[in-house]
Amino acid sequence: MIETKEINIDGVLQAAQKQSIDKSAPTFVSVTEKIDKMNAIDFFQSGKVLGKNRIYWSSSDQQTIFAGIGDAVILADSNASYNTIKNKWKKWMQNSKIVNPYDNTRSGPIAFGGFPFDSEEPAEELWRGFDGSQFRVPTFLLTIDHSDVYLTTTVLVEEESHVDQLAAELITEKHQLLHVTHAEFQDNQIVLKHEVDPEAWKTLVERATEKIAANQVDKIVLARELQVEFDQPCDVGQVLSQLQQTQQHSYVFAWEKDGVCFVGATPERLVKVNDQKVFSACIAGTAPRGKTVEQDYEFGQQLLCDQKNREEHQFVVDMIKQAVHSLAKSVHIPDEPVLYPLKNLQHLYTPVEAELEEGYTLLDAVEKLHPTPALCGFPRETALDFIRHFEKLERGWYGAPIGWFDQHFNGEFAVAIRSALINEEKASLFAGCGVVKDSDPEIEYQETAIKFTPMLHALGELK
């Protein structure tokens, strides 16, 4: 049983309603309590009982984990404007009542969501419902920060709200969520796989290399889709459990809307901001892991010395360096990359540290950095134009910024790769690779096949 250090929610809501009346506007109410230890995936699974949208986020070191249930506040913009999301959040914070005695934690009101890869791409059949930029503040947010566990309850209180009834509903739902002893999972099993026109994709790679050979662009990132079907509706909690166990050093995320869930385990941080300190990462260049220590070392050294991969990585470093310098000071970027090992793959990695100039926020940094050459190409606009005209995949949120921010715009965004869009008995997996002048279509095809592996295993493919 989970015991909370109770805060009088009814009293908080009564005070919030008075504020709403005084200001003639709804009040954003957020109440944080410290609770006993609870498993975040169990909490995520318990949200199925309430039939509400869910979110999940685990940092790459697994020291910060969020699980959210319900939609207390939604921030959305069909035009995918970063500035609109920022201004909407500021407006809510200006008319808020936040009860959180734990200032030095990641508890409190937090918005989760993402931006599309390409703001000009319409959300059609595959990504219907994920149009534009969308963020939500969960009604109930479980925060695990190292060994501390918190529950934040968020709700809007209006002038005419029935606060006694609202308080009773929140207490009942909270009790349901916190008193799940251990969540039940079903075993997911893939029964059908279908690659979406791989030969046409290889032909597209050839077309991209021709454009690069003509000196019209240096690099173009092309992505493709793998469709799978299950023998029954996919259990997202089971997928998260598998990813959390197997994809260490990756950000594990899930963002569910009306029964459709975007889920993944990405190694790639886009940007993190904490008290104006900026942390980003350049990740580009890929090799498999070896079956032995010796083979693994050999693959890693080949990657470090491979001209094609080093060139691809340098595009990312140069672009991120330029973007960070435009809004930050004290920028530090090492001269040489190192290896970043994951369970199935290893990458070239260069960390970036800086300090935001006054007036800039995390969302400004996200806007400057996305899309990086690792997910789009270089130069950005030329590569993006090629993708818009010739790539058949509807990218949606794949390869786009996904993450969170708090009331002060501290937070973190990752690049949503190694991911899948799950819709009941079906899922679409996405993988991409950087095409440069020396790219071979078959080798690039095999690289994307390797990149599908983590999600395939997590979704239930036989090992």
> How does pLDDT run across 74-110, given as a tens digit for each residue?
999 998 889 999 999 999 999 999 999 887 667 789 9
Asked if 9-178 and 190-459 have one fold, the answer is: yes
Tokens 């050459």, located at residue: 373
Return binding residues for Mg(2+): 312, 447
Per-residue pLDDT, 181: 66
* Both tokens assigned to 437: 């002048």
What pLDDT score does 70 carry?
97
Q: State the pairing for strand pair 96-99/27-34.
A: parallel
Q: How many residues make up the chain in this entry?
A: 463
Cα–Cα distance between 295 and 237 in angstroms, integer?
Answer: 34
pLDDT of residue 146: 87
User: Yes or no: is domain 190-459 CATH 2.120.10.60?
Assistant: no
The distance of Cα 245 from the centroid of its chain, to the nearest Å, equals 18
Matching residue, tokens 């991969």: 309
- Give dist(CA 450, CA 427) in Å, integer: 18
The label of the residue with tokens 């395939």 reads 456
Query: CA-based angle 7:9:12, to the nearest 5?
Result: 105
Q: Which two tokens stand for residue 366?
A: 């996200």
Q: Which residues pair with 348 in a beta bridge?
A: 339
Q: Which residues contact 249 (CB under 8 A, 6 or more apart)?
A: 60, 61, 267, 340, 341, 342
Interatomic CA distance for residues 26 and 329, integer angstroms: 38
Query: How far apart (Å, rounded) are the C-alpha atoms in residues 157 and 367?
Result: 32
Pairing of strands 260-266, 277-288: unpaired
Per-domain residue ranges for the chain?
9-178, 190-459
Question: Which residue positions form the known binding site?
Answer: 312, 447
What pLDDT was estimated at residue 106? 75
Give the DSSP H/E element, type plus range, for residue 279.
strand 277-288
CA 344 vs. chain centroid, Å, equals: 20
Tokens representing 281? Answer: 């990462």
C-alpha 17/C-alpha 26 separation (Å) is 8
Kindly give the parts of the chain with pLDDT less than 70.
Answer: 1-6, 104-105, 181-183, 462-463
Report the pLDDT value the prediction gives residue 4, as an integer from 0 to 100: 45
CATH 3.60.120.10 assigned to 9-178: yes
Residues involved in catalysis: 219, 268
What confidence score (pLDDT) does residue 285 get? 85
Q: Which of 140, 370, 422 is nearest to 253 (CA)?
A: 422
* CA–CA distance, 328 with 271 (Å, rounded to integer): 12
Cis peptide before 341 (omega within 30 of 0): no
d(CA 237, CA 184): 9
pLDDT at 461: 80
Assigned token pair, 72: 């207390």
| Distance spanning both ends of the chain, measured CA to CA | 36
Helices (H), 195-339: 198-213, 236-246, 293-305, 307-325
